[in-house]
Amino acid sequence: MNQTLANPSFSSSFPLPRGRIAIVSASWHREIVDRARLSLRAELEAQGIAPESLEEFDVPGAFEIPLHAKLLAQSGRFDAVIACALVVDGGIYRHEFVAAAVIDGLMRVQLDAGVPVFSAVLTPHHFHEHDVHREFFAAHFVEKGREVGRACAKTLQAIAAMETAARLSPPSARPAAPARPVAMPG
């Protein structure tokens, strides 16, 4: 999500079919992760999503996020799930493996559950516990929170538009299902 959305402003409000968006945040480096959580909430509200539609969940670390996201997505209560975490190299294991597992898990949840899942799970190449890095990543997480909030709002609007178009189009206007290949006797 390193891009700027061409039209970051949407209608003043739009309904959520299930009425909720789940935000799952890791507790490690909370002072940095909270920057993304707070800025994505502000962005979703600016896009017309009511604050009471946002439900927050805390997990110990990033590795726990995919299972939590899966349970939330499968519950049928949420229109989208947003994950926030900072994965750093703790010196015991390679953080790239944790980050890859988290992102792969989130994508699998999205595809299996049919509920959009968004990621503000970031993995800096080098993170050191000093003021310069904490300040830099805190500011970076504010921007990433805005980006993920805009992406969530835009995606939910696009899905709603597709669902509305499908309901409104007569069956004759809908494309026919692709023909299945017929096995030819050998």
- Tens-digit pLDDT profile for residues 88-102: 766 556 777 788 899
Q: Is 84 helix (H, G, I), strand (E, B) or coil?
A: strand
Residue 59: name the closest of 49, 77, 72 by CA. Answer: 72
pTM across the whole model? 0.80
pLDDT digits (tens, 9 = 90+) for 20-49: 999 999 998 898 899 999 999 999 999 989
Give the CATH fold of the 21-169 domain: Rossmann fold (3.40.50)
Delimit the domains of the chain by residue range. 21-169
Alpha-carbon dihedral sign for residues 21, 9, 161, 120: negative
Q: Which sign does the torsion angle of CA 19, 14, 8, 113 carry?
A: positive
What phi and psi, each to the nearest 5 degrees, are found at residue 84? -130, 130
Residue 94 designated active-site: yes
Q: What are the average pLDDT values for consecutive 10-residue runs of the chain, which has 186 residues?
A: 44 62 93 93 93 95 95 96 86 72 95 96 68 72 94 92 82 59 59
β-pair type (54-59, 80-86): unpaired
Active-site hit among 30, 77, 94, 174? 94
CB–CB of 56/37 below 8 Å?
Answer: yes
